[in-house]
């Protein structure tokens, strides 16, 4: 995994014009149910955030790309929950580990719209809470409020250390 992170971060550093689309796709993958378990996007986003302080990559386009990617991934997970929550519970990995979906549902049922907001900041819940919110019939307006506001804050947290010149994963990659 370390090698994959390094490749993507180095590619982004060498091809700054691709930074925003790469960040959008990473944030989208990190927020989309099922896909989020396969893509180590959090570490890559933090690494790409480190490029803000090291190269000519601007914060605002990357922040906007991360925000839009996260909003889109969560919205699609929510939509899938609304329309396909039964079949999804029988798919990998939920069929083998039903606790993943159940945790998201319990978290949502306990916290409601705040659960959607705060769920974004907890890796295992990030993609399952929107799916559970859709399956439980949460209103689209309430979901989108939590989705957009949490995505904007999450994107700033992922990319912010690099913009502020703080140490990030870039400081620990081999040269």
Q: What is the residue-level pLDDT of the chain in tens, covering all 175 positions? A: 566 667 776 777 777 788 889 999 999 998 998 787 777 777 778 777 777 766 667 889 999 999 999 999 999 999 999 998 778 778 777 778 777 778 778 888 888 899 899 988 887 777 788 988 998 889 999 999 999 999 999 999 988 876 776 655 445 444 5
Question: Is residue 140 assigned to a domain?
Answer: yes
Domains in the chain: how many in total? 1
State residue 170's pLDDT score.
Answer: 47
156 burial type by CB count under 10 A (0-12 exposed, 13-18 middle, 19+ buried): middle
CA angle (93 as vertex; 91, 96 as ends), nearest 5? 90
Question: Is residue 155 assigned to a domain?
Answer: yes
State residue 156's pLDDT score.
Answer: 92
Which two structure tokens, joined as six digits, stand for 45? Answer: 């986003």
Q: Which domain holds residue 166?
A: 2-170
**What letters, b where the CB count within 10 A reaches 16 and e where it falls short, cover 111-125?**
eebebbbebbeeeeb
Question: Is residue 175 assigned to a domain?
Answer: no
33 burial type by CB count under 10 A (0-12 exposed, 13-18 middle, 19+ buried): buried
How far is 64 from 87, CA to CA, in rounded Å? 33
Q: How far is CA 65 from CA 45, 61, 72, 86, in A?
A: 11, 6, 10, 32
**What secondary structure letter does DSSP report for 18?**
G
How far is 67 from 35, CA to CA, in rounded Å? 17
Question: Is residue 33 assigned to a domain?
Answer: yes
Question: Is residue 45 assigned to a domain?
Answer: yes
Question: Is residue 22 assigned to a domain?
Answer: yes
Question: Is residue 109 assigned to a domain?
Answer: yes
SS (H, E, C) 81-107: HHHHHHHHCCCCCCCCCHHHHHHHHHH
What CA dihedral angle connects 4, 48, 152 and 165, to 10 degrees? 140
């Amino acid at each position: 995994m370390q090698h994959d992170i390094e490749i993507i971060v180095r590619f982004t550093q060498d091809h700054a014009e691709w930074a925003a689309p790469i960040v959008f796709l990473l944030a989208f993958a990190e927020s989309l149910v099922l896909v989020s378990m396969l893509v180590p996007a959090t570490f890559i986003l933090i690494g790409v955030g480190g490029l803000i302080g090291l190269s000519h990559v601007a914060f605002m386009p990357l922040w906007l790309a991360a925000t839009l990617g996260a909003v889109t991934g969560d919205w699609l997970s929510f939509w899938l929950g609304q329309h396909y929550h039964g079949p999804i519970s029988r798919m990998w990995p939920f069929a083998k580990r039903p606790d993943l979906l159940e945790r998201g549902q319990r978290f949502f049922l306990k916290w409601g719209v705040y659960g959607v907001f705060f769920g974004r900041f907890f890796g295992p819940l990030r993609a399952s809470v929107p799916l559970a919110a859709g399956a439980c019939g949460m209103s689209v307006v309430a979901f989108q409020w939590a989705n957009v506001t949490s995505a904007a804050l999450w994107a700033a947290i992922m990319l912010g250390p690099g913009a502020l010149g703080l140490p990030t994963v870039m400081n620990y990659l081999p040269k």
